[in-house]
Structure formats: C-alpha cells, structure tokens
Structure 1
C-alpha cells in the first residue's frame, strides 16, 4: 500500500486557492493509487481533502486523539479511523505508516507536525520525502527562519535542503512521486 500523509488545516483559510489545491491534491492521491493518511477531521481543508480522495475512489486513513473527537468530528466515510491518546501518538503513527509527506497551509498543528517530521528526517529516524505546497508564498516566513538558522550556524545546508517546496501542486506532486519511486527502487535493490 502506497501512503501519503498530508498535514493541513482544519480551517479553510481566506483564499480559494487553498481549497482548490486541496481538491486537486485529493484527485491526484486517488488517481495515483495512494492512500491518504491525515488527522481524521471532517472540518476545513482536512475534511475537503479526505472527501475528495473518497469521491475519486481513493482510500483514507484518519488518526485523531480522544481529545479532538468532539471538536473536529471525524469523517464517517473514511476507511480506517485510529483514535489515540495524545498528539505525540498521532504524529508517531502518521510518520510510521506514511511513505511521504505533503504540507499544505494550516495553523500551529500543521506547523508542529511538519517541523517534527522534518526533524525526524534530519536525524535519520525517517528516510522519506517531505514537500511543502507553498501557495502564494504561505511558507516563505518559515523558510526565511530556517535560512536564518543556517546563516547563524545552527543548521547546515543539507538540513535546509531536505524539503521540496513548490507553489504549484502539479510540480510538487510530480517531484514527490520521483523521490518516492527512487527511494522504493533503492530499497528493493538493497534486498
């Protein structure tokens, strides 16, 4: 099973481009035979993405905490729902069962998930691609901060170059697929 974890907001944001990108990504996930792994919510961009994947014949796995069930109302149409005790367990499960990660616009939870995954790749706990969909420069501030860390001597360029960042979902998805295929052909040839 091919899986992609998408970190994104439980809000819609104030620009239709965010929703349009979620719909397009959902179609691509389903068309390319990937299972969506996400935070389980029915709200905002999270719900829109999961509903789109299901509408186009894809499979969806949601992972949500006991605390968030009442707040974020899990989708009833998803194929698997995992209820865990903490955000730490949620992130760990997402990282474990996913082959690659896409980060879309969202809030603090999205940022937390993305940074923790990026750091896990940095320290070698994960060897999986991560990409940011930088719609309208949404993540420019984050990448500016990361570049400041590099210039101040706290990060090396090989760390700042870990994520793929593209403003266009088609370009990002194609590059993520290339990384996914390369990683899987390398692991098959090592066996």
Structure 2
C-alpha cells in the first residue's frame, strides 16, 4: 500500500446547482479526517472548496491552502486554515500544491479544476512524478469527460495505458483505496477497462 499522508483536492469555487456536489465534498472531507490525512487545496472559503475545507476543519483535521495573492479577495481566502500559503502566480500555486501532496483528487469544478487535474495526470505520464491521480465520480458530472477520454483512446490520440493513469471511483473510500494501491508507474498497471467504479 502506498503511504498517503497529504491529499491534494481540486474542486470548484462555486457550489453548482446539484446538491450532490457539496455532499461529495463533505463525504470526502469526512474520510480525509477519518483516515488521519491532511487536506491540501486551493485556499478558498467559497464554493466546493469552502465546503471541503470547513468539513475537515470542523472534524479536527488539518488543512493547508495555497492561493495566489490576486485571488485572495475574489476567492475569499479561508481565514481558519492550519496553514495558508500566499503565492504570486497560478503556476506557483500548482507547483506548491503538488510538492506538498502525496496524491491528487478532483471533484466537480470548471476550467481551473480540469487544468489542475490534467496537469497532474500529464506530469505522471511524462515521469515528472509517480503520485497517483484520481477523479471522484459525482452523479453524472464527469460522464461526458470520461467518455471523451475513451473516445480519444479509440481514435488513437491517447494511449490506453496512459488513459489508466486517471483513476476513477464513485465513492471516496473506493477512490482512496485505488490511490493507495497505485504502483507508481504506468507500465505496472493491470491492463483492463479504465475508469472502473467502486
């Protein structure tokens, strides 16, 4: 089992219209505390980011936030975190979050969430790190995205083994189990259908 002490979570600074998004953030936050993990995230107090951080803090967990100085007001930097790192650029934010973390998970979000998710997967693909990356399936939010990735494999622009770099599950526990079972290299993955649910 891979030791995971700090889990980086990418998610939206908006709540979205479906309450299942916030419910998933709460469930993941509760699991993080139950497992004794530290949350690393984007530092905001609003949207799904705020729900996630508040859940972990309310249960006595540790939360590390990383936010660019120019987003402190618009994303409303969380005032109650265990640690808050204020950086200058989005690139610095992503780099520091990656350095502080042992694994990466995405919840629903927009362009920023998807950029962070795919940067983490791409870095794994090209060998910049050996940390696992997962996507928590929430309702049908990611269905079209996962179908697109499968289509990219089908038309030959994405290798099947690289598609398997993005772990997916429909429950926080199942996803954490997959992250811990991650072998560290794509060539050690068991061939099969990617995106298995748990």
Q: How far apart in 1 are the matches of 2:57 and 2:132?
A: 24
Residue 81 of structure 2 is matched in structure 1 by 78
Q: CA deviation at 1:92?
A: 0.9
TM-score of the superposition, structure 1-length normalised?
Answer: 0.90
How many Å separate the matches in 1 of 2:151 and 2:166? 16
Partner of 1:149: 152
Instruction: State the match for 1:69 in structure 2.
Output: 72
| Distance apart, 1:139 and its partner CA | 1.3
Structure number with higher helix proportion: 1
Mapped to 2, the partners of 1:17 and 1:52 lie a distance apart of: 15
**2-structure distance, mates of 1:45, 1:131:** 17
Equivalent in the alignment of 1:109: 112
Q: Which runs of 4+ in 1 moved over 2 A?
A: 173-179
What does residue 187 of structure 1 align with? none
After TM superposition, give the deviation of residue 145 of structure 1 in Å: 2.0
Which segments of 5 or more consecutive residues in structure 1 lack a partner in the other structure? 184-191
Supply the distance in 2 between the matched residues of 1:63 and 1:122 (Cα, whole angstroms): 24
Aligned partners of 1:80, 1:49: CA distance in 2, in Å? 15
**Unaligned stretches of 5+ in structure 2?**
185-198
1:132 and 1:73 mapped to 2: Cα distance?
25
Q: TM-score, normalised by structure 2?
A: 0.87
* Deviation of 1:154 (Å): 1.8
How many residue pairs get aligned? The number is 181
Is contact 2:32-2:38 (8 Å) kept? yes
